[in-house]
Structure 1
Amino acid sequence: MPARRSLSAPPHGRGSTLSTTAEPMKTTFRDLGILPETAEALESVGIVHPFPIQEMTLPVALTGHDVIGQAKTGTGKTLGFGLPLIERVVVRADVDAGRATEEQLTESPQALIVVPTRELCTQVTNDLQTAGKVRDVRVLAVYGGRAYEPQVEALRKGVDIVVGTPGRLLDLAGQKKLDLSRVRSLVLDEADEMLDLGFLPDVEKIITMLPAKRQTLLFSATMPGQVISLARRYMSQPTHIRAAAPDDTGTTVANTEQHIFRAHSLDKVEMVSRILQADGRGLAMIFCRTKRTAADVADQLTQRGFAAGAVHGDLGQGAREQALRAFRNGKVDVLVCTDVAARGIDVEGVTHVINYQCPEDEKTYLHRIGRT
Structure 2
Amino acid sequence: MTTFRDLGILPETAEALEAVGIMSPFPIQEMTLPVALSGSDVIGQAKTGTGKTLGFGLPLLERVTVPADVEAGRAAPDKLTDAPQALIVVPTRELCQQVTNDLLTAGKVRNVRVLAIYGGRAYEPQVEALKKGVDVIVGTPGRLLDLAGQRKLDLSHIRVLVLDEADEMLDLGFLPDVERIITMLPPKRQTMLFSATMPGAVISLARRYMSQPTHINATSPDDEGTTVKNTAQHVYRAHNMDKPEMLSRILQAEGRGLAMVFCRTKRTAADIAEQLAKRGFASGAVHGDLGQGAREQALRAFRNGKVDVLVCTDVAARGIDVEGVTHVVNYQSPEDEKTYLHRIGRTGRAGAKGIAITLVDWDDIPRWQLINKALDLKFPDPVETYSTSPHFYEELNIPAGTKGVLPRAERTRAGLRAEELEDLGETGGRGRKSAASAPAPVREERPARTPRQRRRTRGGGTLEEGTVTVPAPATEAVVEPAADADASEPRTPRRRRRARVGAPEGVAQEAVAEAAVAVAEAAPVAVEDVAVPVAEEKPRRRRAPRTTAAEPVAETVTEAPAPKVRATRSKAAAEVAADFQTVAATEPVTKPRRRARVVKPAVDEVDFQIAPPSEPVTETRRRTRTATKPKTEAVTEAPAAEGETKPHRRRPRAAVKAEAVEATTSVVTECESEAPAKPRRRRAPRATAKAEAVTTES
TM tier relative to shorter chain: over 0.9
In structure 1, which of residues 316, 322, 338 is the aligned counterpart of residue 313 of structure 2?
A: 338
Show the counterpart of 1:95: 70
Q: How does 1:288-367 map to 2 (within 5 A)?
A: 288-367=263-342
Report what 2:86 is aligned to: 111
CA distance in 1: counterparts of 2:9 and 2:74, whole angstroms: 14
* Aligned position for 2:162: 187
1:254 equivalent in structure 2: 229
- How much does 1:117 deviate? 0.3
Q: What secondary structure, in the 3-state scheme, does the structure 2 residue paired with 1:363 have?
A: helix
Partner residue, 1:83: 58
Q: Percent identity?
A: 85
1:149-298 aligned within 5 A: 149-298=124-273
Q: Structure 2: which amino acid aligns with 1:289?
A: R
Mapped partners of 2:237, 2:41: distance in 1: 46
- How far residue 94 of structure 1 moved from its aligned partner, in angstroms, is 0.5
**2:101 — aligned with what?**
126
Letter in 1 for 2:173: G
Instruction: Encode CA deviations 1:152-174: one digit per residue, 9 max, x unaligned.
Output: 11011000000000000111111
Measured after TM superposition, the shift of residue 360 of structure 1 is 1.1
Q: Which secondary structure does the structure 2 equivalent of 1:260 belong to?
A: strand
Alignment partners' CA distance in 2, 1:123 and 1:221:
17
C-alpha deviation, 1:78, in angstroms: 0.5
3-state DSSP of counterpart to 1:122:
helix
Per-residue deviation, 1:345: 0.3
Instruction: Give the Cα separation in 1 of the matches to 2:83 and 2:238.
Output: 55
Distance 2:29 2:93 in 1: 23
2:231 is paired with a residue of what secondary structure?
coil
**Match for 2:47 among 61, 66, 72?**
72
Distance in 2, matches of 1:228 and 1:88, equals 25
Q: Structure 1, residues 132-188: CA drift from partner, whole Å, max 9, x if none?
A: 010100000000011011111101100000000000011111111110000000000
Question: Which of 1 and 2 has greater Rg?
Answer: 2
Deviates more, 1:239-248 or 1:123-132: 239-248
Q: Give the residue type in structure 1 aligned to 2:191.
A: T
Q: What is the deviation of 1:226?
A: 1.1
Gaps of at least 5 residues in structure 2 are 348-698
How far apart in 2 are the matches of 1:191 and 1:89?
23
Q: Comparing both structures, which one devotes a greater share of its residues to strand? A: 1
Distance of 2:182 and 2:23 partners within structure 1: 34
Could you list the per-position Cα deviations for residues 274-323 of structure 1 after superposition, in whole angstroms to 9, with x for gaps in the alignment?
11111000100000011110000001011110111100000000000000
Shift of 1:248: 1.9
Letter in 2 for 1:287: F
The structural deviation recorded for 1:258 is 0.7
Aligned partners of 1:299, 1:114: CA distance in 2, in Å?
A: 34
Query: In structure 2, what is the Cα distance between the partners aligned to 1:258 and 1:75?
Result: 18
Q: CA deviation at 1:349?
A: 0.7
Shift of 1:194: 0.3
Three-state SS of the structure 2 residue aligned to 1:305 is coil
Q: State the Cα distance separating 1:247 from its structure 2 match.
A: 2.4
- Tell me how far apart the structure 2 counterparts of residues 203 and 290 of structure 1 sit (CA, whole Å): 26
The reply to whether residue 137 of structure 1 matches residue 117 of structure 2 is no
Higher relative contact order (CA 8 A, sep 6+): 1
Given residue 41 of structure 2, which amino acid in structure 1 is its aligned partner? D
Counterpart CA distance in 1 for 2:129 and 2:225 is: 43
Q: How does 1:8-19 map to 2 (within 5 A)?
A: none
**Runs of at least 5 residues in structure 1 that lack an aligned partner in the other structure:** 1-25
Structure 2 counterpart of 1:136, one-letter code: N
**What is the alpha-carbon distance in structure 2 between the residues aligned to residue 236 and residue 221 of structure 1?**
21
d(CA) in 2 for partners of 1:225 and 1:53? 21
Provide Cα deviations, 1:205-228, integer angstroms capped at 9, x if missing partner: 000100000000001211111111
Corresponding residue pairs, total: 347
Give the Cα separation in 2 of the matches to 1:178 and 1:273.
48
TM-score, length-scaled by structure 2? 0.49
Match of 1:14 in 2: none
Please give the alpha-carbon distance, in whole angstroms, between the structure 2 residues aligned to 1:232 and 1:154: 34
Moved more, 258-267 or 121-130: 258-267
Displacement of 1:262? 2.0
Cross-structure match for 2:586: none
RMSD of aligned residue pairs (Cα, Å): 0.6
Q: Cα distance, 1:249 vs. partner?
A: 2.0
Counterpart of 2:32?
57
Q: What is the one-letter code of the residue matched to 2:60?
A: L
**In the TM superposition, what is the alpha-carbon distance from 1:73 to its structure 2 partner?**
1.2
SS of the residue 1:319 aligns to: helix
Moved more, 217-226 or 186-195: 217-226
**Per-residue CA distance 1:16-45 (angstroms, 9 max, x = gap):** xxxxxxxxxx21000001010111111111
